[in-house]
Chains A and B, each alone.
Chain A
């Protein structure tokens, strides 16, 4: 409760000062969309009217359990005299009752408190990186310092750079951007490389659809990223750092700018940081919207102001990177993990995880799942634990079909492999990959052919066009998938996809092309029957592919409400009051409007 006291002692003079009251409101992108700003303002107004002084902190963005919690409405912590209560589903109208009953009366409003689901969501997680996210004000450097922030950087600067690299190597930390290259090794290459100046770049160009770990970390705890960059810069001997961040993340950019400004004021960035002989500064480069810029060499080209096209490696950026100088590029999550590793030691970090994958990993758990949100779990946890214990299973009592990891570079893991441990090697062995941490849960209403078409149209769209296999190969694959989903598939198509996929993987220039066929190959491997159903039988088992769908009205389920009749644009539905609807297949244009409109799932 140090924070509350500090803030109030500065602003004395109100009628009744309550030093032990703090209210934390979630103001991440998700929280703001749910109206958290209005709730926060209302708390401010009500407390002022009552003459109570409180610290209304901005609870950061860590959208833990957003679905069902933050997302439904606003999540608020009320900390009174050292005991904390969390409310869910708040709207501004709820505030006056909480103020009068809980804050003044001392009795929490029970029916609005979070339920057991909220605690179950958190219990299975191991939080290193997200520990502070959601608990400290991301726009206040003092809040970060109070919980031991910048101790890691201070400790690193007081020892030799080689020792810092050794610690990181011994910790077993591997790059969290996807490929899993050992971080310490990368640093060692760069520190030994000839050339000066050297650069360290934070890769915050999080482009995978379905992933938002990096955004949440920067929005929730920007100083941990800055501290990680200071440690890395010192270890490799770089005096300049860049953060390459997506322009689609305005809130993250805003908070990072504040954090850099505050760190400069404190003397943590600039000349002779922490009163040492080491100089270090950080600049922000906003990306201009290109997925390929997450690839190291493309990212470098983009910072230099060119088209973001990758080049062939070697030489690796550690030897020839930005402006031709030795450069280390680390992912946001990797950098944000470093302060704790340095502060607590390599052994402590290596005690979590599996033999080859150490520590924890943050995943964005999304899709058809009850408790979607941001989670941090130890490496080696099983998929089952993630989906059922933390995620609470599928929505609407549907059956789990597959889990997709690695975004457009990864693959689908079928439900039969759900007890598999989550680490770099296991995921790779099954044709998927860790990726940056998107984890999309799919239920039985998802069509796997449609899914692989979705990912391929993404990579096809984002292919930079430099090398032929990726530019033309993915286009041909997409054409084949499109014709399968439209009911024009041919028998040889599956073999053709496999052949094309193998060739593109072997001959593409960069990681984007080399992994682009993965979603297709992995779904063919595990869901070949679905492809065959589309091609041979002309049906889409999940009922997603519109051209293959046959709509009918179930007479048993129809409640005769007439909603489908009103929704149908082609007069294919006949309906009269007190009679079930009838669908004329000849007139049906398969638009799906009746299916969407039916509240009783009576359109099949």
Chain B
């Protein structure tokens, strides 16, 4: 852990980065924001850990929990909403047996997230699975997408 943190720290000093770019690097390396890494940087840089957490909880991009192997992002933009994305998201969650408030499936295979808008409104409703964009979704297509992603 320390080795990787040191690497990030060197980069940070070289590029005159800030807390946000530091956290982005941390998440890139470890998958999510780990408490021990935050404490490590807090000591090294003499920045209170609360500063880090303040930023982490403010922005949607940072995660304090590990995420699933496959990331499925549902777009909740206006165009997707008008075209009935709510129903599809509900179906996907039912398929993965996700209880209310839980976004990662029990086996750690999938994490379902939502994003305000991915800006691909002309092919709404839109889903993104592992960075591949799926447009004009229906409940059936979403089920196939989950199967495809899970097997691949």
A→B interface (CB under 8 Å) = 29-30, 32-34, 63, 66-67, 70-71, 206-212, 215-216, 247-250, 286-291, 302, 304-309, 364, 366-368, 372-374, 404, 407, 438, 440, 442, 446, 454-455, 458, 462, 464, 592, 596
A210-B77, A366-B79 given as contacts; is B61 within 8 A of A288 (CB)?
yes
Among B34-42, B64-72, B97-105, B132-140, which stretch is in contact with chain A?
A: B132-140
How far, in whole Å, are A592 and B82 apart by their CA atoms in the complex? 16
Task: Please name the 6 residue pairs, one residue from A and one from B, whose CB atoms are nearest each other, closest first.
Answer: A305-B18, A212-B119, A289-B60, A210-B78, A288-B59, A209-B77
Least Cβ–Cβ distance between A531 and chain B, in angstroms: 19
Least Cβ–Cβ distance between A596 and chain B, in angstroms: 6
Could you list 17 further interchain pairs (A-B, Cβ under 8 angstroms) beyond the known A30-B135, A308-B59, A366-B78? A63-B122, A66-B122, A66-B123, A71-B122, A209-B78, A210-B79, A212-B120, A289-B60, A302-B20, A305-B55, A307-B54, A364-B121, A368-B82, A372-B121, A373-B122, A438-B121, A446-B82
Whether A30 lies near B122 (C-beta < 8 A) is yes
**Contacting residues, chain B, for A373 (C-beta < 8 A):** 122
Whether A207 lies near B116 (C-beta < 8 A) is yes
Whether A206 lies near B123 (C-beta < 8 A) is no
**Contacting residues, chain B, for A249 (C-beta < 8 A):** 119
Total contacts A-B at CB 8 Å: 136
Nearest opposing residue in chain A for B59, CB measure:
A288
How many residues does chain B have at the interface if contact means C-beta atoms less than 8 Å apart? 40
- 9 A-B Cβ contacts within 8 A? A29-B119, A33-B135, A70-B123, A208-B117, A209-B116, A210-B77, A211-B121, A288-B55, A368-B83
Contact residues of A: prevailing secondary structure:
loop
**Contacting residues, chain B, for A306 (C-beta < 8 A):** 19, 55
Whether A289 lies near B59 (C-beta < 8 A) is yes
A30-B122, A305-B55 given as contacts; is B62 within 8 A of A407 (CB)?
no
Least Cβ–Cβ distance between B78 and chain A, in angstroms: 3
**Contacting residues, chain A, for B149 (C-beta < 8 A):** none
How far, in whole Å, are A304 and B20 apart by their CA atoms in the complex? 9
Whether B120 lies near A33 (C-beta < 8 A) is yes
Whether A454 lies near B116 (C-beta < 8 A) is no
Does B29 touch A at the CB level, under 8 Å? no
**Contacting residues, chain A, for B117 (C-beta < 8 A):** 207-212, 248
Nearest opposing residue in chain B for A66, CB measure:
B122
How far, in whole Å, are A8 and B44 apart by their CA atoms in the complex? 55
Does B115 touch A at the CB level, under 8 Å? yes
How far, in whole Å, are A437 and B95 apart by their CA atoms in the complex? 36
Whether B139 lies near A596 (C-beta < 8 A) is yes
